[in-house]
Each structure stands twice: as structure tokens, then as C-alpha cells.
């Protein structure tokens, strides 16, 4: 990494969060110092192109598109889902267009859905409504969707105070330094961070505990410009193995999101009432 000496060393920082973590981060060449710089640089960019895959038990999904996190989440994505709950549905394996705004997510469910929904192709998932219906997990989902900043994963790893550099690797042809750490769910609410609020950490702890997760392993790849280019999160949950990998590129890309026409949109809660 540019400006940081001893990158790729096998040194591990094992201080707890708070003041000790901050002091460790100030040590030139430490993994915490590198991640602190990466968090700042990544957060300053505000937008990027993204692509990735997620496995949650038997269900798999892939996505690609662009997102802007400057003022809440704005994104245009193409999402494909397989297995699990969608295995026997018409949506399995079909790319679906999704649009994200600070208040809701819109997903185009296709012509077959529209034929059964009065000609409406889009489903609207309002974050406030989901939060009310799903309780604590819904509030967490709302928070994540409104604050989907890639730097957050970096900040979380910094908050643990336990980060290890495992060397230099190539990520889609880009040289990057690989960092890894494990988050203990039972310790989340006790962590101290300048970037993640106490309520953020408490909400995350509740959500992960509800899902049965005890630990989460986070791997981050930072390029020579101190930008996050790859993130992988792994854990075991009540629904099986969780494994998510996301690649980031073209930082600063323009992202314009337009809500689908109301005449072509159905609210999720209305669809549930009809069923």
C-alpha cells in the first residue's frame, strides 16, 4: 500500500477497541493503520461499481451494478437468485432489475408477476414498513440499506482491534494487500468506534445473534490507492453457511436512480394482504 511501510507483514494487532485500538492504528505499518487510511479514502469516494455473490444456506444470489452512498443508498443493480425459497418459483435463475433509494427498494419481478398483479411489474419494499413488521431485524435492515457504505466493513474490522495482514494478492488484475480478522458477535456491543455508533453495534449484535451467528470472519483487500477492492464475509448461521463476496471498482462513477412509475408498482405490504 502507498504510504504505509511493512505492508504484507505477518504482524497481528490484538488490542481491544477504544483508545488502545486508536494508538495501535497510529503506528506506521500496522494493519490497523492501513485499514484506518483505507476507511477514510474509501468513504471519501461516495460511489463505485460493484459485483458479488452471496450464499445463505441453500440459497445463492449474484448482483452487479453501481451504487452511491453519499446521501443514503442509491443504486441500480441486476440480481439473480437460485435455490432456497426461490428454487421452484418463476424467478429462479432470472436476472431481475433492482433500484435502491434511501427509503425503499424496487424490484422488477417480470411479466409473469405482472399478469397476476394487475399489470404491475415492480414490487416496492419500503424500509419503514419492513422495520415495523420485522421488529429489531427490520430496523437493522433499514439501517443497513440506508447506510450501505463499503467503508463500514473496514470500520467494523478496525473496531475489533484484531487485524492481520496476510500478504499481497491480485484482485481482478489489481495488486492489493489482504487483511483478515474475526468479529465475535458477543463482543460487538462492547466495541468502541469513532465511525460506528453504539446503537449500530448493538443492532448488529442483536441481528447476528438472532441468526445464530457466533463469529464472522471478514477479509478485505486494499489496493495501492488505499481503496477497498474486495470484501468477503463468512459465518455459520441458523440457516446454514453465510458467505458473501463483493468486488468494488471505478470509484467515483456517476449513479442516477429513477423510481419506477407508481402505475407500474405494487407495495409489498399490499401484496401480502392479497395473499
Cβ atoms 180, 218 nearer than 8 A? yes
- The model's pTM is 0.81
d(CA 162, CA 227): 20
Q: How far is Cα 161 from Cα 159, in angstroms, rounded to an integer?
A: 5
CA-CA-CA-CA torsion sign (236, 239, 243, 244): negative
Burial environment of residue 138 by CB neighbours within 10 A (0 to 12, 13 to 18, 19 or more): middle
Nearest CA among 42, 46, 62 for reference residue 54 = 62
Do 215 and 185 form a contact (C-beta atoms < 8 A)? yes
| pLDDT mean values, one per 10 residues, the chain (275 residues) | 22 39 47 92 91 91 93 91 85 92 92 90 89 66 68 84 92 96 83 72 79 88 96 88 94 95 92 77
- Chain centroid to CA 158: how far? 16
Q: Check residue 239 and give its pLDDT.
A: 80
Given the DSSP bridges, would you call strands 265-267 and 122-126 parallel, antiparallel or unpaired? parallel
CB atoms within 10 A of CB 71: 9
b/e per residue 191-214 (b: at least 16 CB within 10 A) = bbbebbeeebbebbbbbbeebebe
Give pLDDT, residue 14.
38
Q: What pLDDT does residue 193 have?
A: 67
Axis-axis angle for helices 151-160, 31-45 (nearest 10): 160
Q: Which of 146, 142, 170, 171 lies closest to 230 in space, CA to CA?
A: 171
What distances in angstroms separate CA 185 from CA 178, 191, 206, one per listed residue? 22, 10, 9
pLDDT value of position 27: 44
pLDDT value at position 107? 94
Q: Quick check: 75 and 64 in contact, CB under 8 A? A: no
Q: Is the dihedral of CA 155, 251, 231, 135 positive or negative?
A: positive
Amino acid at each position: 500500500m502507498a504510504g504505509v511501510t511493512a505492508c504484507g507483514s505477518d504482524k497481528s494487532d490484538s488490542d481491544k477497541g477504544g483508545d488502545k485500538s486508536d494508538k495501535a492504528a497510529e503506528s506506521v505499518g500496522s494493519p490497523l493503520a492501513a485499514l484506518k487510511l483505507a476507511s477514510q479514502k474509501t468513504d471519501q469516494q461516495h460511489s463505485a461499481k460493484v459485483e458479488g455473490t452471496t450464499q445463505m444456506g441453500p440459497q445463492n444470489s449474484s448482483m452487479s451494478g453501481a451504487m452511491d452512498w453519499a446521501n443514503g443508498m442509491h443504486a441500480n443493480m441486476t440480481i439473480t437468485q437460485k435455490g432456497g425459497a426461490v428454487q421452484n418459483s418463476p424467478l429462479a435463475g432470472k436476472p431481475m432489475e433492482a433500484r435502491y433509494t434511501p427509503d425503499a427498494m424496487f424490484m422488477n419481478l417480470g411479466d409473469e408477476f405482472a399478469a397476476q398483479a394487475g399489470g404491475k411489474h415492480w414490487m416496492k419494499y419500503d424500509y419503514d414498513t419492513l422495520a415495523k413488521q420485522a421488529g429489531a431485524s427490520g430496523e437493522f435492515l433499514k439501517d443497513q440499506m440506508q447506510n450501505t457504505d463499503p467503508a463500514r466493513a473496514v470500520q467494523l474490522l478496525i473496531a475489533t482491534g484484531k487485524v492481520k495482514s496476510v500478504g499481497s494478492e491480485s484482485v481482478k488484475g489489481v495488486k492489493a494487500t489482504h487483511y483478515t480478522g474475526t468479529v465475535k458477535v458477543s463482543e460487538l456491543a462492547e466495541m468502541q468506534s469513532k465511525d460506528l455508533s453504539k446503537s449500530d453495534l448493538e443492532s448488529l449484535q442483536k441481528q447476528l445473534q438472532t441468526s445464530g451467528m457466533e463469529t464472522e470472519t471478514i477479509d478485505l483487500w486494499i489496493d495501492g490507492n488505499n481503496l477497498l477492492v474486495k470484501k468477503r464475509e463468512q459465518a455459520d448461521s441458523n440457516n446454514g453457511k453465510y458467505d458473501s463476496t463483493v468486488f468494488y471498482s471505478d470509484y467515483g462513477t456517476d449513479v442516477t436512480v429513477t423510481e419506477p412509475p407508481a402505475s407500474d408498482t405494487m407495495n409489498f405490504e399490499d401484496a401480502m394482504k392479497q395473499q
